[in-house]
Amino acid sequence: MNAHQSVVPVLIVLAPLLTSFMLPVLGWWYRPAVFPLVLTALAVSCGAAIVAAQDVVMNGPVHYYMGGWAPPWGIEFRVDALSALMLLFLTIITLLVGIYSKQSILKEIPSKEVPFYTVYLLLVAGLAGQVATADMFNLYVFLEITSLASYALVSIGGGAAVVSAFRYVILGTVGAAFYLLAVGYLYSVTGSLNMADLSRILPDLYESTTVLVGFAFFVIGISIKMALFPMHTWLPGAYSNAPSAVSALIAATTTKVAAYVLVRVMFFVFEPRFSIEMIPVTTLLGWIGAAAMILGSVMAIAQSDFKRLLAYSSVAQIGYIVLGIGLANTAGFTGSILHLVNHAFMKGGLFLVAGAIVYRTGLREIREFRNLSRKMPVTAATFTICAFAMIGIPPTGGFFSKFYLILGAIDAGNWVFVGVIVLSSVLALAYLANVLRYIYFPNDDATGGGGRQPVPEATQRDEVPWTMLGPMLAVTAIIVLLGIFNGEVVDRFIEPAMPAGLAR
């Protein structure tokens, strides 16, 4: 076997993992060094992801065999075009949120920065590991590292967050247990845990009941992890009660990585023909995704708390990703992956905005956001761009991913899905425009003032510090760049990773 080997994929995981173990000691010994070290680890991880992505685009998939044990016996790390894209967005967003979090957590959870960053890095390591690994059981371990870290991060703020975190523990662990059961079932008939090896052995066993049961447990377990409607109940509480930096981090990454795992196993470990024709799981997922899009958006409209609104909107956006997977054709798959990356930045950006508003004013109720555009113009502008991307206005990335999804729905001949995508976008406009109205039109109250009256009192400009504004602006820039260069992303990362056997 002359697979292209490199140590870089492991570095992406190891840098945050090892640093995370060092932090408690360092924090006890010399606290000012903690934050720079965290940034270094995240930057190393990001650099390694860029190097790996370049390597993958030039030379094809990169492998690394742990301890020199060749697969299927050893644990293999494998980065192909799809996982390279995932690793890139993961490491970039975690680096940006890392920079942002310094001021934010000083305000929201003072004197807890050492435990916060320890668990933060653990979360990053778990996420990157889930994406990079090519071993089913290793994936379970990384899944649980990620989950444990996110339970701790959600609860770190205290208050109602602890109750939300406990609910998250129960549901998240059930999801992971189902995944473990699926691995057990698949292992019992194939005797293998390596993904490439499984995909070679499994086609002869597609008729086996054991494989079917294993696959069903896998889909349900991962659906809980990705908060797919109606298994999303842990999400709103966890997102809205957590400290803002944590919301941004978790909302942008954990559910997306779970969606990636779903794609990886459905289309790469199993062949598309298994999940499309032999059991109609893609059809089912498509409809569930459609339901999530509508109901998540409707629930979002009903919220008066900004962070809760964003959380319900996440449920809807997961629906888009799953609907794209459910379409089971190339345009749908492209749209799904593109939306996955776009949404990570959009929702990350929106939660960063929410955090900035909490940082400066302590406000969370949308009704109280009056005068905000005068007080915090840059934050308001960031919110506007992110909101436009969520609604799907060109040239932001959100437009193109929805465009591909609609193309996919037309290719699949499913006009209901076309309608659902458009309707859900309109609903997104409804809940986001409401926030925009409060931010930009100060005196426009419910009785319909028109919003043209002069501002009553002169409002001082009072922006958040630059270390928070910088990451927010960077996320905004990335959202626009993802839209402008979406062709590049599709050509370099998504097309080469297209699973064989999807309908055109």
Question: Can you give the binding site for another protein, defined by CB under 8 A?
Answer: 137, 140-141, 144, 147-148, 151-152, 155, 158-160, 162-163, 165-166, 169-170, 173-174, 177, 180-181, 184, 187-188
Residue 396 CB, shortest distance to another protein, in Å, is: 36
Q: Which is nearer to another protein, 136 or 478 (CB)?
A: 136
Q: Is 108 or 271 the residue whose CB approaches another protein more closely?
A: 108
- If the CB atoms of residues 190 and 244 are measured against another protein, the closer one turns out to be 190
What three-state secondary structure class fits 495? coil
Q: Please state the closest distance from residue 358 (CB atom) to another protein, in A.
A: 15
CB of 241 to another protein, least distance (A): 10
The minimum distance between CB 94 and another protein, in angstroms, equals: 21
Could you tell me the smallest distance in angstroms from the CB atom of residue 234 to another protein? Answer: 13
Q: Nearest approach, Cβ of 33 to another protein (angstroms)?
A: 27
SS (H, E, C) 399-439: HHHHHHHHHHHHHCCCHHHHHHHHHHHHHHHHHHHHHHHHH
CA distances from residue 253 to 118, 138, 332 in whole angstroms, order as listed? 17, 19, 21
CB 214 → another protein: shortest distance, Å?
12
Choose between 37 and 174: whose C-beta lies nearer to another protein. Answer: 174
Q: Rounded to the nearest whole angstrom, what is the least distance from the CB of residue 181 to another protein in the complex?
A: 5
Q: What's the number of CA atoms in the CB half-sphere (13 Å) around residue 368?
A: 11
Kindly tell me which of 174 and 436 has the beta carbon lying closer to another protein. 174
Nearest approach in angstroms of CB 240 to another protein is 13
Give the nearer residue to another protein in terms of CB position, either 113 or 135. 135
Residue type, 295: L
CB 315 within 8 A of CB 235: yes
Nearest to another protein of 191, 377 (CB atom):
191
Taking the complex as a whole, how short is the minimal distance between the CB of residue 137 and another protein, in angstroms?
Answer: 5
* Spatial contact of 437 and 351, defined as CB atoms under 8 Å apart: no
Tell me the longest C-alpha to C-alpha distance in the chain: 74
Asked if 159 contacts 241 with a C-beta cutoff of 8 angstroms, the reply is yes
Nearer to another protein (CB atom), residue 159 or residue 487 = 159
CA distances in angstroms from 427 to 87, 154, 390, 438, 446, listed in the order given = 31, 28, 11, 17, 19
Token pair in block for residue 104: 């934010």
- The tokens describing 243, both together, are 């400290």
Is 177 or 279 the residue whose CB approaches another protein more closely? 177
Question: Nearest CA to 408 among 317, 341, 496, 324?
Answer: 324
Collapsing DSSP to helix, strand or coil, 365 comes out as: strand
Residue 311 · residue 235 · CB < 8 Å: yes
List, in sequence order, every residue forming a beta bridge with 5; answer none if it has no partner: 63
In angstroms, what is the minimal distance from the CB of 76 to another protein? Answer: 16
Only one residue has tokens 């075009």, namely: 81
Of 21 and 466, the one with the shorter C-beta distance to another protein is 21
Structure tokens at 425: 């976008």
Given the complex with another protein, which of 194 and 379 has the nearer CB atom? 194
Q: How far apart are CA 250 and CA 253, in angstroms?
A: 5
Report the distance separating Cα 403 and Cα 422, nearest Å.
10
Q: Are 357 and 400 in contact (CB under 8 A)?
A: no
Residues forming beta bridges with residue 324, ordered by sequence position = none
Q: Which two tokens mark 366? A: 């949308």
236: enclosing H helix or E strand: helix 235-241
